[in-house]
Amino acid sequence: MYITIDERDRRPIYRQVVDEIKGLIARRELEEGSSLPPLRQVAADLGVNLNTIAFAYRQLQKEGLIKVRHGSGAIVTSRVVSGRSDEQLRVQLRTALTQLALAGLKHSEIKAMVNEELNILPSPQG
């Protein structure tokens, strides 16, 4: 599993870890049943506090994406986050699009960026 932390990113480190792992799951680089590296290893590899990684893993578990078993590590249990309505997802999308517009991107640039990101993700059917 390869994830990176960006010191200039305003998101907390745990959120960056959560988002990176979600991306790996969404791109099917981490399949259902895959083991995640132990907390200590991830913390050491990234040079961050063990509790930060533990919190990130707990967040992923709360969302139903991984199962954490004390002493035996964590495994990917799903690639689908359930329990979010279309409206909740739309609000998240709107927030992200607003951030891009506030960063000064034109609609054509935003559309190109969204298309590039969609092309990275595998089709839900296959």
Check whether 126 has a pLDDT greater than 60.
no
Angstrom distance (rounded) from CA 75 to CA 11: 25
Domain ranges in the chain?
A: 13-76, 86-120
Residue 108: band (very low, low, confident or very high) from pLDDT cuts 50, 70, 90: very high
Mean pLDDT (the chain, rounded): 89
Residues 6+ apart with CB under 8 A from 55: 14
Angstrom distance (rounded) from CA 109 to CA 70: 45
> Do residues 60 and 66 make contact, with C-beta atoms less than 8 angstroms apart?
yes
Fold for 13-76, please state it: Arc Repressor Mutant, subunit A (1.10.10)
pLDDT in tens, 14-49: 999 999 999 999 888 999 999 999 999 999 999 999
